Structure 1
């Protein structure tokens, strides 16, 4: 387990656990200053900085020190993440990773990642997850790209939206975002079990991340606005967004910039999307970070004028292979022996028999002959059901050792809905 002391060795030594120690409250400003510098040195608004200070779990955050100087940072928020089957599984949300430019290529990052994964294992959390500023970094530590996100710029002048029955029964009203926070959080909480990758906001403060609205981050757009969707006097959805006015030779060219949208059913979701398409004096709806299987893509009249883009989002790392694979369910029966390679966390290496179906699973060590061979990185990519094992095999990253084992396991690992991370950390 982590302590609040330097873990032995000369105080100035870095590139091993000798220069690592758990973050102390009195060191937070220096620690966070190193992180900001690693990401370019632009200061954050006071409200944003203070919220991250409040959310910091000090016993789960590490600093690398060279004498009295912070030269590396990392942390691990305590989350419960939905996995296929709907169970909330403890997961370490790896965050705020940065190394001073003066200390690159000296093993600082590797030492922090190793110590962190050892800590996560000691905490009894079978999974670690992160979003990557540079995707090339984290594969060598066993993280696999497990979900993707959708962005779009929709030409709302030329794209119409066909909505399902019941949409007209949904009432929309403007509200101050803070005034309806509790009702919006109740909607979010009901949706968490329905999609792999969603995070339960069980610690105070996380609900306020969606309300952060520093003027420096608006880029000429309005303050954050909120519309709630109601049916029978009950809130069934909400959208948070900004409006950026604009005018050109032909008239208005304003944009709606979507921050968040959640609806408890198709009609509630459609009512909110239709509203965003129709805001006066705007002609573009800017959408970022949405699920890749979201329904509005099948409701628009012209998908090409939505200018879709897909990019990586969630990276998943199995810290305890047996516990992680047993924590989720499988959409088809599976009985397969996996030969797992994991040189960074050698306690995971070896053969594991995974047996499971839609009701539950077990994963235990075995001496039986292996049927699929892969690294923990591929298991992380496939874990949430968004990346097929057959695709990884086609890329040369999974080897089939028993004919038929790959197709069986690939179907079983899948998910009926795409995994998605609803907000950053």
Structure 2
């Protein structure tokens, strides 16, 4: 592998066309979609890596990626994170380490800027697992014949109203309740809201669902096409909202053969379907990277009423600051993290419950995607039964998921 000596940094205006070409070559994304994305997220969203003199292309763009700050919710609290997308390397320069160098520069910059986490959807696993990413959660594509969602008349005290989608603040206020009760959902910025409500560039039709007390959810649908109805976005906060959404979507049964939507493993439309029609058409895993271990653990929320102390021996090949023994003390749903010296009197090990794992395995435990027993079963974690029981309690909660793809 060539030693990389080129420069990492923000994409220059004159490099935008080259970046668009790299993204098109890597993902088949047309220039107009690339330009739309950059405009939505802002010109500062792109990062680039330039070649050093080792290839005779000194200063030329050989890799690029998009990165933006956002909060990601775990345990009912927002954790400062950064989203990463469109990681592309010049196909003529594959195997030279440019992708790894780009990601290292990006992660170092994000950590220095205050991000505790980084999240992405991988096109390939090895490069990201070597950089300390772990499996963080899932995103499901569900679909069903609309008739199989029908559960009878809608609640008499419920209502459905067409809503102006140009201002997402009303929808964001509703969705915030979902963020606080789920794991893994991200706080959407303008770009992510646009992708959610206008996935193909054209706005969806948005309907709020509610009862006597006000709105309890919303559903956004694209116009039916080819006998299929696509739900662009969905937020259901009550049994009444679920019933209203079921009836609303079932009402398309004369126009379409299938309704599709994105959700999690415990999707309410699937859970409450009266028939066996819903099916999972796709299941994608997203990856999570803990950038700042102490900040990530202390910012996350935890189950109320749980108290205890757990020592974790962490290995991180990229950020030495995350390596070593850390004591996690939990009380009243909040955590305090202290570094514990490895050199103890008489060479003794830290007292109490101790887990040993890599930063990537910790990501899967931290998010709640994989429990400690599952991680130990495959050799990604070491620890006694008392430590595993405590870790399972600390990181318990809903299975992490997100509908947003990037």
Mark the CA change 1:141 to 1:396 in structure 2 (over 3 Å): closer, same or farther: same
More off after superposition, 308-317 vs 56-65: 56-65
Consecutive unaligned residues of structure 1, counting only runs of 5 or more, are: 1-12, 247-253
Count of residues in correspondence between the two structures: 390
Aligned partner of residue 6 in structure 2, secondary structure: helix
- 1:77 aligns to what? 68
Residue 396 (structure 2) pairs with residue 424 (structure 1): no
Aligned-residue offset at 1:403: 3.7
Q: Which of 308, 319, 322 is residue 348 of structure 1 equivalent to?
A: 322
| CA distance in structure 2 between the aligned counterparts of 1:188 and 1:393, rounded to whole angstroms | 35
Q: Distance in 1 between matches of 2:40 and 2:138?
A: 29
Partner of 2:260: 287
Could you tell me how far 1:70 is from its partner in structure 2? 1.9
Which residue of structure 2 aligns with residue 195 of structure 1? 182
2:194 is paired with a residue of what secondary structure?
helix
- Is 2:380 aligned against 1:397? yes
For residues 111 and 58 of structure 1, what CA distance do their matches in structure 2 show? 19
Distance 1:95 1:275 in 2: 34
Q: 1:320 aligns with which of 277, 292, 308?
A: 292
Structure 1 window deviating more from structure 2 (148-157 vs 290-299): it is 148-157
2:207 aligned with 1:227, yes or no? yes
Whether the 8 Å contact between 2:139 and 2:403 is mirrored in structure 1 is no
User: Per-residue displacement from partner, 1:275-305 (whole Å, max 9, x unpaired)?
Assistant: 11231424543434301112222322233x3
Instruction: Return the match for 1:381 from 364, 367, 372.
Output: 364
2:120 counterpart residue number? 130
RMSD: 2.8
- The 5-angstrom pairing of residues 14-413 of structure 1 reads 15-40=3-28, 42-45=29-32, 49-56=35-42, 58=44, 61-65=47-51, 66-67=57-58, 69-84=60-75, 86-157=76-147, 159-162=148-151, 167-175=155-163, 177-178=165-166, 181-201=168-188, 203-214=189-200, 224-232=204-212, 234-245=214-225, 254-282=227-255, 284-303=257-276, 305-309=277-281, 311-331=283-303, 332-367=306-341, 369=349, 371-400=354-383, 402-413=384-395
**Ranges in structure 2 where 5+ consecutive residues have no aligned partner:** 52-56, 343-348
Deviation at 1:194, TM superposition (A): 2.7
Deviation at 1:414, TM superposition (A): 1.5
| Native 8 Å contact 2:139 2:262 kept in 1 | yes
Contact 1:161 1:299 in 2 (8 A): no
Aligned residues of 2:48 and 2:61 also touching (Cα < 8 A) = no
TM-score when scaled to structure 2?
0.86
Shift in CA distance, 364/26, structure 1 to aligned 2, threshold 3 Å: same
Q: Give the drift of 1:188.
A: 2.4
Which secondary structure does the structure 2 equivalent of 1:378 belong to?
helix
SS at match of 2:156: helix
Relative to structure 1, is the Cα distance of residues 14 and 234 closer, same or farther in structure 2, using a 3 angstrom cutoff?
A: farther
Shift of 1:169: 1.9
Secondary structure of the 1:344 match is coil
**CA distance, structure 2, for counterparts of residue 213 and residue 138 of structure 1:** 27
User: How far, CA to CA, are the matches of 2:20 and 2:235 in structure 1?
Assistant: 32
1:10 alignment counterpart: none
C-alpha distance in 2 between matches for 1:15 and 1:73? 18
- TM-score normalized with structure 1 length: 0.82
Q: Is the 8 A contact 2:100 2:127 kept in 1?
A: no
